[in-house]
Amino acid sequence: MPHIRVRGLPLEDLESVSDTLVETLAELTDTPNSHFTLEYQSSIYLVVGGASPAYPFIEILWFDRGAEVKAKVAQAIDDLIRPLIDAGQDITTLFRDLKGADYFENGEHF
């Protein structure tokens, strides 16, 4: 844990930055890189009139590490993904803070 879900980015692009992404976030959060999971989600974005170009949407599920760490993580993600997308395109990073009381691993509460 943390678990990172990525959509709106080609799989090849995510693969090209995945090692750097995990290493950078591990350093920023003082968390072993082996605790991270990275999930690619294939998505089709729709608007009125049909399909729409996707934009990178990164969702991070983790135990809260405070606003300062969130800002650093969001900036690091932007710095890594920005060169892979069109100029002016948005990148959204969403943090979902989990509560320890809701976390179970292998059926056991931690």
CATH assignment of the domain containing 100:
3.30.429.10
What is the model's pLDDT at position 93? 97
29: tokens are 């959060």
Q: What is the DSSP string of 86-101?
A: -TT---EEEEEEE-GG
Note whether residue 22 is domain-resident: yes
Note whether residue 84 is domain-resident: yes
Output the pTM of the full model. Answer: 0.89
Note whether residue 110 is domain-resident: no
Instruction: Count up the domains in the chain and report the number.
Output: 1
Query: Could you list the residue range(s) of the whole structural domain that residue 26 is in?
Result: 3-105
pLDDT tens string for the chain (110 positions)? 899 999 999 999 999 999 999 999 999 999 999 999 999 999 888 888 888 888 999 999 999 999 999 999 999 999 999 999 999 999 999 999 998 888 788 888 86
Q: What residues contact residue 72 under an 8 Å CB cut-off, 6+ apart?
A: 28
Residue whose C-alpha is closest to residue 28's, from 71, 60, 57 = 71
Per the CB < 8 A criterion, the answer to whether 94 and 60 are in contact is: yes
What is the model's pLDDT at position 85? 94
Note whether residue 8 is domain-resident: yes
- Number of other CB atoms surrounding residue 86 within 10 Å: 7
Note whether residue 20 is domain-resident: yes
Note whether residue 55 is domain-resident: yes
